[in-house]
Amino acid sequence: MDSHIPSPPTRRLSTGERENAIDRTIPLFPPAVEIDEHNYFDNNDPPEYLESMISGVQEFVKFHINNRVVLVTSGGTTVPLENQTVRFIDNFSAGTRGATSAEYFLENGYAVIFLHRQFSLLPYSRHYSHSTNCFLDFMEEKNGKVVVDPKYQEEMLSVLRKYQAAKDKNLLLLLPFTTINQYLHTLRALSVTLQPLRSRALFYLAAAVSDFFVPLHRIPEHKIQSKAGGNKLLMNLDPVPKFLHRLVEKWAPGAMIISFKLETDSSILLSKARQALERYSHQLVIGNLLQTRKTEVVFVEPDAPAHWIRLTPGQEAAGVDIESLIIPAIVKRHTVWIKESGNSA
Ligand code: PAZ
């Protein structure tokens, strides 16, 4: 054995002790109330582009005033650690759930506002843009020109037609976010803008939203420096206010609201989903586990037993999207919601 190999550092690195991890048994933060809303939005500036983004949304809502419109949120929010951001904390989500769901909502006659993490997967282009699905692999050279490989012609034509139809009929509005602050400001402004649609508006909140953040007044302007001696970086994060109840009660009264609950421990999924439903008083929580999210989800709604939606092994092997089962089940519920509210469409 080589006696010159230095012994592993023992003091400077975290030992990863379990007692330092976030305790998942502690009760959830209380839902945000009016004062929390003021505190957050008065002290964390809106993104500069928000006004012009919202005027685009107003046009879209006017255009679809008699149609069903779904707001799909997708991808993870970031928490910047510096104002001129080099480092940030991220939330897991590739955007597959959101992008795939948006396609099935379009197929079911909805206009879609797609509020997504910038550079995450988008409806239609998702089929060809992921690193495991590079668009170049679908191309070939023929007589000095780039053409689609005949093997993929049929599939690509079908995707292209749906994409073009969504564009031509002005059915898809893409709005990006990156940080938790951009997401929250945009979500609030959007919700208010969708109010004229009343119960025809559907919120499908699939984005993975940060639970902790650094408030504006504590974010350093420049890149955090590491010092000689390898000091630890201690982070002091505030809880992100839970605005879902404000959304249900104040920002989007009358709309149907669906949130997602992601867990990794199957023994707590159902209770966490039920807890969220009771706390925020919305219409549906869709629970999913990180490990199985592409093959099973559970619907948790008021006064009903939990309802699992699962792909059969045959559907899984055939590459069926679970969203092709989720969205029709939601459309049915939304139809009832609209009828019961006395609205049409
Ligand atoms: O984007 P993706 O398909 O990789 O993941 C989707 C998901 C698991 C983030 C989504 O289904 C979800 O559960 N969103 C809510 C996450 C949360 O509990 O905050």
| C-beta of 244 in contact with ligand 1 (< 6 A) | no
CA of 208 to the centre of ligand 1 (A): 5
CA of 272 to the centre of ligand 1 (A): 14
Amino acid, single-letter form, for residue 220: P
pLDDT of residue 6: 43
pLDDT of residue 343: 74
pLDDT of residue 131: 73
User: How high does pLDDT run on average in the chain?
Assistant: 92
β-pair partners for 267: none
CB-count exposure of residue 23 (10 Å: 0-12, 13-18, 19+):
exposed
pLDDT digits (tens, 9 = 90+) for 278-333: 999 999 999 999 999 999 999 999 999 999 999 999 999 999 999 999 999 999 99
- Structure tokens, 52: 């012009």
β-pair partners for 140: 147
What b/e readout covers 197-221, taking b as 16+ CB neighbours within 10 angstroms?
Answer: bebbbbbbbbbbbbbebbeeeebee
- Structure tokens, 240: 């992100």
| C-beta of 206 in contact with ligand 1 (< 6 A) | yes
CA of 144 to the centre of ligand 1 (A): 43
pLDDT digits (tens, 9 = 90+) for 210-231: 999 999 999 999 999 987 777 7
Specify the DSSP element, H or E, that contains 229: none
User: Given the structure tokens 């000689």, which residue do they identify?
Assistant: 228
Among candidates 30, 29, 33, which has minimal Cα distance to 249?
Answer: 33
User: Given the structure tokens 């009016």, which residue do they identify?
Assistant: 34
CB-count exposure of residue 175 (10 Å: 0-12, 13-18, 19+):
buried
pLDDT of residue 24: 55
pLDDT of residue 5: 44
Domains defined along the chain, listed by start: 27-220+233-260 (3.40.50.10300)
Helix (H, G, I), strand (E, B) or coil at 290: coil
Which ligand 1 atom is the nearest neighbour of the CA of 211?
19
ipTM above 0.90, yes or no: yes
Other CB atoms within 10 Å distance of the CB of residue 82: 15
| C-beta of 293 in contact with ligand 1 (< 6 A) | yes
| C-beta of 276 in contact with ligand 1 (< 6 A) | no
| C-beta of 96 in contact with ligand 1 (< 6 A) | yes
| Residues of the chain under the 70 pLDDT cut | 1-28, 344-345
Q: What 8-state DSSP symbol labels residue 215?
A: -
pLDDT of residue 176: 98
Q: Which of 262, 268, 322 to mutate for ligand 1's pocket (most ligand atoms within 8 Å of CB)? A: 262
Q: Which of 79, 93, 300 to mutate for ligand 1's pocket (most ligand atoms within 8 Å of CB)? A: 93
Amino acid, single-letter form, for residue 253: P
CA of 207 to the centre of ligand 1 (A): 6
| C-beta of 262 in contact with ligand 1 (< 6 A) | yes
| C-beta of 93 in contact with ligand 1 (< 6 A) | yes
- Structure tokens, 74: 């997708």
CA of 7 to the centre of ligand 1 (A): 41
CA count, 13 A, side-chain hemisphere, 32: 22
| C-beta of 261 in contact with ligand 1 (< 6 A) | yes
Whole-number Å distance between alpha carbons of 183 and 66: 27
Among candidates 229, 203, 218, which has minimal Cα distance to 81?
Answer: 218
